Structure 1
Amino acid sequence: MTVQQTSLPASRRADVRRLGVGSGTALCAGAVLGPGVLTLPSLAAAAAGPASLLAWVVLLAMCVPVAASFAALGARFPDGGGVATYVHRAIGPRAAAVVGWWFYGAVPIGVVSAALIGGKYAADAAGWGDTGATGVAGVVLAGALASNAVGLRMSGRVQLLLGAVLAAVLLCAVLAAAPQVSAAHFTPFLPGGWASVGSAASVLFFAFAGWEAASHLSGEFADPARDLPRVTRRTLAVITVLYLGLAVTTIGALGPAAARTDTPLTELLARSAGSAARPVAAAAALFLTFGAVNSYLAGASRLGAALGRDGAAPRWLATGGAPGEVPRRSLAVLGGVAVALGTAAGSGGADLDLLMRATATCLAAVTLAGLAAALVLLPRRTPLWYGVCVSALLTAAVLAFSGWLLVLPAVLACAALGFLTLRRVRS
């Protein structure tokens, strides 16, 4: 999950290349891969059983034109604005402001989800149960809020390292469980009917957001038109191997138990390493989730300050948004909402599946907005343009399976447009 600004910064090109294809691929893959994948295989299996594999395949296929379109847009408009930049150019500033509000609203839900994932892995290793998982999640969230409040930021190298650790953990889990895969675990293949596949896709979208990261990085390449397609192809290859391998081994090795565990990677690693896998998986999950929560809050607090600066949100949010400063007011808003959501989740008001579906709904809305902008900005009636049309239809279908959770992006859009209207009337 990435965070974007609604402003249109000037295109900036370094005198020398700051990112190569290798480091660009690592950053892009790290944006797509996230802590959600540590638990999504079991959530998808609970929704559709073995047929959840179809949801993985469909979303991976949808990613090809999505990633290609964002790479093409990044090559044409190389700056850090990402999807909001394209929506601004194609539709206008009001639509770009809505996209910003969708991201800003999704982040508190996403960070609580990520913190709970780390908490569940730690509680599983220590035998603490749900209460312990909630406590660990609270510590992760509090630590990330405190580190951002005092201005501590994770360096790009640390983020690359965390992304590499996640990829390594996923690969090890797949290889460890591969010999245990049984064909019998894939029958019955469609126990919940075709609607269950859509339900699985709606929560799995959490793992497929982040393709717009390539467009954020576009200004960091010496030749975006040459490098971005290479980065996109390599990232697609990496996540295809990891996601499909993880999905197949989770179902094939764990069978019905895949739908009953909150820590599928621990169960897969335990197939070869035994009980020693639990503390290892817990430690890896805690590092990964803390890193993700810290990065989400850092980026989203900047986004809130940018929204305030550009007049798309209350002006007081802009305080601390200058380079080198800490946007503590924006961070306080994010932290307050996240704490409220975490408290509700801990008291049984919301579970991890619901939180991840809510986050995925907002992110799918952002992706759909980006695809709509691509249809306007990219050359029409080309293979890529038609591919974007298909992906937009599939994304809309995934959104439809979100059901009542569509209220979230609708409310955020109304809030953004209402604020802009009120500001214009007052001025």
Structure 2
Amino acid sequence: MSSARIGIGQGTAIYVGAILGAGILALPSLAAKEAGPASVLAWALLLLFCVPVATTFAALGGRYPDGGGVATFVSKAFGPRASAVVGYWFYFALPAGAPATAYVGGRYVADALGGGQTEALLIAVVLLGLAFTSNALGLKISGRVQLMLVGVLALLLLIACVAALPSARTANLTPFAPHGFWSVGSAASLLFFSFAGWEAVTHLSGEFRNPARDLRRVTALTLAVVAILYIGLSVTSVLVLGPQLEDSPVPLSLLLQAGVGGAASAITATVAALLALGTMTAYLAGASRLGAALARDGALPSWMAKGNKAGEVPRRSLAVLGVLSVAVSVIALTTGASLGSVMLGASACFIAVTVAGLVAGARLLPTGRPVWFGAVLAAVVMGVVLAFSEWFLLVPLVLGVAAVLYSRRRGVVPVEAASPDLEPASGAAQ
């Protein structure tokens, strides 16, 4: 086994990269349109909701560190067939989610620099290629790259906020809730997907030197970083832009124009590229390890299992994701499929994975402890959110049927049999 493992700094960077997304460039405006200045409460409420989700997955990852991530937790709780279904949801949603994320980032970059559709597609290809390349070089390398990306991103977002503060006006806080305080709920529903991603990084739990200890630290640091960036950007946007915030599709650009003037477009383009690249890098790191773990357990072809051990690079699984991503992109472009449909289909799968992981947490974690109550509460809330996926629920349904059919033909191996040492790790949260 390779001795290469990721440390606290690299792990935190990967986690932050999974949570932050390109939506942060536009969502402060959309939330303010719903709730006015009170939209800052929606950001705060969702950050609080992140706590039980994040701590549940940290506790499970500390107890059962494995590349299967949520699929491993579900196997321990409900058996290998259920694990295969959950694994398919995440693994086969990634080839739709990654190109869509690359295109969103490419479009932001192209718009900021005055480019059009062709430039956006070219930038998307470059971003996607960089994400796959960094993962193919190994998690140690991609972790260092992610640490640099997140560091630059955090610096740029802080510059945007600090530089614009001299233009802040407390008068912009009134009226605080022009549409009533119920509108905070509407704003929170808009912002919800800016706080997803915890399910993606569960697949990296086995890559830490001491999962039980390191996951707690990384989770706490990630929550702190995300809180500072999200709350800082939302509060600064309200104080500086005031009523103008509701009508702007690019509030970050306006903040930068107020603070740094002519460099705003270039900085916005850089932030958009870093957000998209960071998200894809983190998700690909998790999905490639999941694919190798599924192959190890018999839920995917056995030749994909190479690289399933901690410290190894699952290049075969990553290559499959690359081929599928190209195929999905070609199909979407040739059929004219909307970006929204592609992203909603992938989102339905990712939400389903999160619900399954939280339900597994309610089954596996010590009953009556705070982390157990958090898992139950988060599972109920996420279950309601999943129901709003409506007909896009057909995507995880089809993938689930495919997983069951393949598992019956091949015969899946329980995670315990595939990895005899995968028992609750010593020092794990009890």
Shared fold (TM-score, shorter chain, > 0.5): yes
Counterpart residue identity of residue 210, structure 1: W
Give me the whole-angstrom Cα distance separating, in 1, the residues matched to 2:403 and 2:192: 27
Give unmatched runs, 5+ long, in structure 2: 413-430
CA deviation string 1:46-103 (max 9, x = no partner): 6666554444233211111222222222332233332221111011111211221121
SS state at 2:66 partner: coil
Number of the residue aligned with 2:326: 335
Give me the whole-angstrom Cα distance separating, in 2, the residues matched to 1:44 and 1:343: 34
Counterpart residue identity of residue 374, structure 2: G
Number of the residue aligned with 1:95: 82
Number of the residue aligned with 2:423: none
Counterpart residue identity of residue 235, structure 2: V
Matches within 5 A, 1:199-214: 200-201=188-189, 204-210=192-198, 213=201
Number of the residue aligned with 1:3: none
TM-score after normalising by structure 1: 0.78
Number of the residue aligned with 1:33: 20
Number of the residue aligned with 2:268: 281
Number of the residue aligned with 2:205: 217
C-alpha displacement at 1:39, in angstroms? 4.0
SS state at 1:169 partner: helix
CA deviation string 1:257-293 (max 9, x = no partner): 5455554322322221112111122134335534544
**Contact 1:54–1:197 under 8 Å retained in 2:** no
Distance 1:78 1:404, change over 3 A: same
Q: 1:84 aligns with which of 67, 71, 76?
A: 71
Give me the whole-angstrom Cα distance separating, in 2, the residues matched to 1:294 and 1:176: 29
Moved more, 95-104 or 208-217: 208-217
Q: 1:167 aligns with which of 141, 154, 171?
A: 154
Give me the whole-angstrom Cα distance separating, in 2, the residues matched to 1:370 and 1:389: 11
C-alpha displacement at 1:18, in angstroms? 5.0
Moved more, 318-327 or 391-400: 318-327
Number of the residue aligned with 2:232: 245
- Root-mean-square deviation (CA, aligned residues, Å) is 3.8
Give unmatched runs, 5+ long, in structure 1: 1-11
Number of the residue aligned with 1:9: none
Question: Taking every aligned residue pair, what percent have the same amino acid on both sides?
Answer: 45
Give me the whole-angstrom Cα distance separating, in 2, the residues matched to 1:143 and 1:79: 26
C-alpha displacement at 1:392, in angstroms? 1.4
Give me the whole-angstrom Cα distance separating, in 1, the residues matched to 2:382 and 2:226: 19
Distance 1:97 1:68, change over 3 A: same
Counterpart residue identity of residue 304, structure 2: A
Give me the whole-angstrom Cα distance separating, in 2, the residues matched to 1:380 and 1:242: 34
Number of the residue aligned with 1:6: none
Moved more, 329-338 or 189-198: 189-198
SS state at 2:367 partner: coil
Q: Does 1:410 align with 2:401?
A: no
C-alpha displacement at 1:24, in angstroms? 3.9
Number of the residue aligned with 2:372: 385
CA deviation string 1:174-209 (max 9, x = no partner): 223344445546647364995883575366324332
**Contact 2:172–2:240 under 8 Å retained in 1:** no
TM-score after normalising by structure 2: 0.78
Distance 1:92 1:184, change over 3 A: same
Counterpart residue identity of residue 195, structure 2: A
C-alpha displacement at 1:401, in angstroms? 3.4
Give me the whole-angstrom Cα distance separating, in 2, the residues matched to 1:140 and 1:219: 25
**Contact 1:35–1:289 under 8 Å retained in 2:** yes
C-alpha displacement at 1:115, in angstroms? 1.5
Q: Across the two proteins, how many residue pairs are aligned to each other? A: 404
**Contact 2:348–2:396 under 8 Å retained in 1:** yes
CA deviation string 1:345-369 (max 9, x = no partner): xx5x4245x5554444322221111
Q: 2:304 aligns with which of 311, 318, 321?
A: 318
CA deviation string 1:214-250 (max 9, x = no partner): 673355234x444433332222222112112222333
SS state at 2:68 partner: coil
Give me the whole-angstrom Cα distance separating, in 2, the residues matched to 1:218 and 1:318: 18
